Amino acid sequence: MSEEASKRAQEEADTPDLECQSDDSSDEGDASGDTEMDFLRSLFSRTLGLSPGEKVLDELTLDGVARYILSGKCKNIICMVGAGISTSAGIPDFRSPGTGLYANLQKYNLPYPEAIFQIDYFKKHPEPFFALARELYPGQFKPTVCHYFMRMLKDKGLLTRCYSQNIDTLERVAGLEGEDLIEAHGTFHTSHCVSFLCRKEYSMDWMQTKIFSEDIPKCDSCGSLVKPDIVFFGENLPARFFTSMKMDFPRCDLLIIMGTSLQVQPFASLVSRVSNSCPRLLINMEKTGQSEFGMGLFSFGGGMDFDSDKAYRDVAHLSTCDDGCMALAELLGWKEELEQMVKREHALIDSKDAKKKDKEASQNSKSTGAEAGKSDKTE
């Protein structure tokens, strides 16, 4: 071997195996990265109080939720509901493509769909809102299976409160009372003058008369517009929403979320107000409320987690709200009771409506007869 070849062989023997070194370095880097990520998760969790809680459900299914309710450990249930619980009553939701309310407002010539619920636009152009109110006004629709399921929770002493985004008052028609309800986005139940200097209150009957006579409701005292107490964009939520939230959610044993896209704040953030051990059941046509990217990256936060390997409390039952509630009622042994309640309550509503129509027809008949009598005397 030449002196040059011998020298080259010696250099190769002294040179480290770069390929092997690269593999080892990669493994060490991955391990280091995992350790750093674990450290960050732990740090953020400790700092923000977001450590995973105890697993309460024996199975992340509707069956698991039913067994938990029947165990006797679940005593305080909160329901969070949106427009999806009323669609089977004939009331459109807001955001469904094609059928949602915002997709069918062209006839009102709005600059954009949401304008119909914006307070500044309303004060200048109240006509579109009141025209829509005639179509959707409470009293024309019956509560759904979902509404009556919540009534059953109340009757059985399990409902702490229902937090509703809806303005249709169907929770009240189904039998929930003021104390059972937080109407986060307001209600048609009362109305007020929009003037800050006046704020005179008006009843639901007064507002109904105005709306169906196609009069723009004006205050008797100051002449300003009168608006139902529903929360428009640009207005604050009721104070009771915030005070009750602080009291109710920390002691919640089960959060049931139904018929909402969880896109409107601050309502959507309520899902993170329960304890980290509290199970959360979503009954909806699609999954919603999952963690935002930043929170999901570290595997913590208030967002819903249905599918990751770290999921431990969130259950998604994808169906209509009525079907989901009936399925849960069946697992609880309440199905027949729920079916009978819906049938009985709907019959009562039909009976009241028939009596009301008969009374109105009688009054109209008397009024017509009186007018005819006056006419005869004049002649």
Residue numbers belonging to the annotated binding site for NAD(+): 83-87, 93-95, 165-168, 260-261, 284-286, 321
* Backbone phi, psi, residue 94, to 5°: -95, -40
What pLDDT digit, counting tens, does each position of 96-136 carry?
Answer: 565 556 555 667 778 887 888 899 999 999 988 888 888 77
- Evaluate whether 185 touches 236 at the Cβ level (below 8 Å): no
Examine the pLDDT at 18 and tell me if it is beyond 50: no
Sheet architecture: strand order including 201-203: 201-203, 186-193, 226-230
Question: Annotated active-site positions, please?
Answer: 185
pLDDT at 364: 61
Of the pLDDT bands very low, low, confident and very high (cuts 50, 70, 90), residue 353 is confident
pTM of the predicted protein model: 0.75
Of the pLDDT bands very low, low, confident and very high (cuts 50, 70, 90), residue 193 is very high
pLDDT at 360: 60
In this structure, of 147-161, 289-303, 334-348, the range with the lowest mean pLDDT score is 289-303
Residue numbers belonging to the annotated binding site for Zn(2+): 193, 198, 219, 222
What pLDDT digit, counting tens, does each position of 236-295 carry?
Answer: 888 999 999 999 999 999 999 999 999 888 899 999 999 999 999 999 999 999 865 444
DSSP string, 250-305: GG-SEEEEES----STTGGGGGGSS-TT--EEEEESS---BPPHHHHHTT-SSSB-
pLDDT at 29: 47
pLDDT at 143: 96
Rounded CA separation 91/142 (Å): 10
pLDDT at 110: 82
Residue numbers belonging to the annotated binding site: 83-87, 93-95, 165-168, 193, 198, 219, 222, 260-261, 284-286, 321
- Higher per-residue confidence, 102 vs 7: 102
Report the phi/psi class of residue 128: left, alpha or beta, with left for phi > 0 and alpha for psi in -120 to 50: alpha
